[in-house]
Amino acid sequence: MIDTEQLPRMAFYTSGLIVVSGAFTIFSSEIFPYVLTSIFHNIGIFLGLGLVYFNMIRLSSRRYMRRLDGPSRMPWVFAVLIGGLPLIWITIYDTGWPLATLLIYAGIILFFSALGAHLGQKAGHKAQQQFREQLQAYLEKIHAQQTENSPESTDHESTNRFPSS
């Protein structure tokens, strides 16, 4: 079930992630010709790209879930959006890679997207707990200040803000 109070946040996060992930995917496609140079280039480039997508998903999931109350499916939505864009792009962009290289790339992107969503959800739960603790401490501090400054005192000098000279 979609929480309608979160729709603006969902729209903001998803649109921002699509733009950032799309831009990164398009700009990173400039290094695709180097993939076929050697197996070390192949592994290094694919793992580097996978780690970037992993971090995008994990950080955005943690940040999104921080203000929620309870679990959310949004990290998996982020994983589909962020991980899906490079997979769609690789089918559009003519790389000239053999099928095995395409499958390795797709596998790495899918693995790191799923890992980012899973760890982002865990980090989001921790961030929720920290946020609740910080909010509770802040509210207690505000409440203590309000009770300290309440006009319950009968002493007239304490309510007089400007000292007489």
Please report the DSSP string for 87-115 in residue order: HHHHHHS-----HHHHHHHHHHHHHHHHH
- Residue 51, classed as helix, strand or coil, is helix
pLDDT given for residue 46 in this prediction: 92
pTM here? 0.78
- Tens of pLDDT along the chain (165 residues) come to 566 778 888 889 999 999 999 999 999 888 888 888 888 888 899 999 999 999 999 999 999 988 888 888 889 999 999 999 999 988 888 778 888 888 999 999 999 999 999 999 999 999 889 988 988 999 999 988 888 887 654 455 555 555 555
- What is the predicted pLDDT for the residue at 151? 66
**CA–CA dist 15, 136 (Å, integer):** 32
Q: What is the pLDDT of residue 1?
A: 55
Residue type, 41: H
Other CB atoms within 10 Å distance of the CB of residue 163: 6
